[in-house]
Structure 1
Amino acid sequence: MGECRKKEAIVVIGTREKNHELQIVKTLGLPIILLNTTVDLEDALEVEYPIEINLNDEESVIQKLEELSTFYELKLIFTLNEYRIITAAKISQELNVPFNLSYQAAVNCRQKKNTRKILNEFGIGNVKMNLVQEVGQLPDVLESIVFPVIVKPSNEAGSHLVQKCHTEEELYEAVRKIKERSTNWVGQQLDDDILIEEFIVGPEFSVESCTINGETRIIAITEKIVTDDNFFVEVGHVVPARLATEDELQIRNMIPLVLQALGVTDGITHTEVKVTTEGPKVIEVNARPGGDRIPNLVRAVTGYDLFELAFHISCGGSIDHLPRHDIVAHSAGIQFILAEKEGRFRVSKATLESSEVEEYHLQVDPDEEVFTTDSNYNRLGYFICYGDEREHAVQRLKNVYEQSNIMVF
């Protein structure tokens, strides 16, 4: 009697956008094995094999998939979750299952210290950097520091624990604040090294790119609006970015060099840059589509769904046949709602439900008590507007914000 053929399956590590990525993966018509820290009923019903497991325990995840490989032929690994990129790459390396990134490329993007070291070594938009592991090392680096500086953990995300420091006192406090935390937002061990970087002056943008077999295509450049205080909370995004022609050309020429230096040969990347008097400089590189609903804005303006492109690449698709939808807007923008202080939140929901708004979401209810927003993780909500030939999305965002009577009192 012949050996029973294994069933082919796709492994999804973590989820990010509710339902959307699972629906994309399902288009291939293969069973899905979903591994997540928690799996709700809705996701469980979408897949063949839902598994609740501690994703921070990579060895347990690998062991579980080794067990499943007895019954399934694991065709590929797919994740769009920033915190799970390295895990997916390690599984790919250990079990020889295809994933877009090599393990080293995943580490180079995920670990901000690696990104900075490599780009400085290649001479791509050099940014001065120091690494410390404890407060006691600060006197050794103070002589080489020119304030203001940026202090941040190497393996966190969402601008969490990132602080701009103008004085030695603020620098010491920022390092202490990071050292008080042993884990990042999802419970992974924080890297021992803390980055102290020169503050880069200039407007900020992000570049949404698609790379296949080492060839990179820029899908969109997003204009970013961030708070001007010591915490870098993103207030809004606009696609396409309003950029001078020369600045845009420099960015487009730089990104392929950045990705090549980091070892990224395939995948969707979200690269944050600032345009300076010395040319564009990289803030960080993320080996996945951007967050903050940027993929929604990009799809509306370009027709490209970054999640679909990521899966297209995973399935071996070519750069000349990228899936594309209809373009529905000349410009698109998102406005986040922040709390500048502690207090009671107020907003006119009627305005957010008007025809000017394509989508909105509130994290808190009107009249609810809120804390000051100090990272991308504790904003109060957002709304999205599209622009046309007559009125840009930025103007519509401004109109809606003013009419919504948003305040914390």
Structure 2
Amino acid sequence: MTDTTSAGTVVVLGGRSEREFTVLRDLGYRVVLLDEQVPWHCMPWVDVPIDVDVNDWAAVAEAIRNDLGDTPPAAVLTHTEPRLPLMAHLTQSLCSTPKGLSEEAALNCRDKWRTRTALTQAGLPVPQFALVADADEAVAAAHGIGFPVIVKPRDGAGAFGVRRCTSDAEVIGAVNALLEAPPGTMSGALVEEYIDGPEFAVQTITHDADTRVLSVFRQRMTEPPVFVELGYDHPSGLSESDLGELEQLMQRALPALGVRDWVSHTQIRRDARGFRIIEVNARRPGGRLVEMTTAISGVDMTEAVTRLALGLPPAEPGTALPFARYSSITFDTAGTVLYNEWAPVPGPKAPIVEIEVAPGEPVLPKDHPEGGVYGRIVVFGDSPEELDRAERSIRETLSLQVVGNHGLDWVGVDSREYKSCC
């Protein structure tokens, strides 16, 4: 093996976005991409694509050694949540000077039971919770916590498998569904207190033990019992005092989980008793919240986490816009989707329009288990009125509509990688 660049090799576990790779190439690194099956569209962006069973940690390590020989990688990196523990493990075992996220911190964030346990021990506000192994334990936990409760998997993302339950029967159904076909990989399920209040997505960067909040977005969701992300708004509507309280909360929470020199995407709810931490994800946000954060903070989280993984300081922030809105594309009925194509608009306030189904393909309602989010519209501006005009113009151009399937059953392969935003 011969390096084609001066800085060394970075191993990337999974990847879909060109930006993930161009950041590394711009910094002078050779890129090796490992995945179950490396997508064809990623081939031009990397130096070496390797197909490997990424659930077999030993096989992944062997594939890396086969490519690099005795030369340690400069870093191991992933932007995919399920691969964070593997990334941290390989960083520790293969890199000469491990940097970025530790394996303990990755597991603390990936496993929601560990997250809540560590935060509780640190005296930080989280919902009441219990780890259960079967439906009987779940019902007992629900009665101990008090209805309504949330049933969710120990790991996973995007609100998959998360359900609000108001009775024993609903708890039994939700827990049995998780245990029979778990969306994650960890045994058991969580039963926790339902926090009835607004939800916020908080993005941070931590460097040299200094945590800075990059963005706080007010999150719009469907009504329970299921939770589908309908969109995000900036500004969040919180006061300066509230934002300061949130920043202090994050400055305590991340060290409690062992997250240092890394980024995070955290979900927080607030009820009459104050803020409560729902989830801490040791990664950038999904969907297009990275671009939204870049627009309002001047910080590109993809670039920031890449530099932190390499032991480099984050770049200086760029210019920022005062207003942004993210609207998920969802549907109320099943059928065939029709819409007009959208032509990209250049410029500093260029909107993002992304639809993950082609005209003529089937779609399902947002509250269907196989429905959810089919795309997103993100607009930027200097006022709420400018956001309104931009989104209205896009929707009028697209003319999204769903027509009936005339009694035919919904069939087909769903090609969407994500059915929720984050």
Q: CA deviation at 1:350?
A: 6.5
Q: Could you tell me how far apart the structure 2 residues matched to 1:127 and 1:9 are?
A: 42
Q: Could you tell me how far apart the structure 2 residues matched to 1:116 and 1:407 are?
A: 42
Match status 1:38 vs 2:32 = no
Q: How many aligned positions are there? A: 395
Deviations 1:375-402 (A, max 9, x none): 6974222112112147253675467557
Long gaps (5+) in structure 1: 1-5, 185-189
Q: Tell me the C-alpha RMSD between the 2 structures.
A: 2.7
Equivalent in 245, 256, 261 of residue 251 of structure 2: 256
Match for 2:319: what amino acid?
A: D
Could you say what secondary structure the match of 2:254 adopts? helix
Contact 1:160 1:376 in 2 (8 A): no
Aligned to 2:323: 331
Match for 1:371: what amino acid?
A: L
Q: TM-score, normalised by structure 1?
A: 0.88
Q: CA deviation at 1:372?
A: 2.5
Instruction: Map 1:134-283 onto structure 2 (within 5 A).
Output: 134-182=134-182, 184=184, 190-283=185-278
Aligned to 2:335: 343
Q: Could you tell me how far apart the structure 2 residues matched to 1:367 and 1:11 are?
A: 39
Q: CA deviation at 1:100?
A: 1.0
Change (3 A) 1:401 1:174: farther
Match for 1:125: what amino acid?
A: P
Q: Could you tell me how far apart the structure 2 residues matched to 1:95 and 1:211 are?
A: 24
Q: TM-score, normalised by structure 2?
A: 0.86
Aligned to 2:385: 391
Q: Could you tell me how far apart the structure 2 residues matched to 1:51 and 1:394 are?
A: 45
Instruction: Map 1:18-97 onto structure 2 (within 5 A).
Output: 18-70=17-69, 72-97=71-96
Contact 1:332 1:387 in 2 (8 A): yes
Q: Could you tell me how far apart the structure 1 residues matched to 2:346 and 2:284 are?
A: 29
Q: CA deviation at 1:182?
A: 4.6
Aligned to 1:289: 284
Change (3 A) 1:350 1:209: closer
Aligned to 1:308: 303
Could you say what secondary structure the match of 1:155 adopts? coil
Deviates more, 1:162-171 or 1:374-383: 374-383
Aligned to 2:373: 379
Contact 1:247 1:280 in 2 (8 A): no
Contact 2:205 2:263 in 1 (8 A): yes
Aligned-residue identity in percent: 28
Deviations 1:160-202 (A, max 9, x none): 1111111111111111111121553xxxxx2112001100121
Could you say what secondary structure the match of 2:20 adopts? helix
Match for 1:63: what amino acid?
A: E
Contact 1:158 1:376 in 2 (8 A): no
Q: CA deviation at 1:136?
A: 3.5
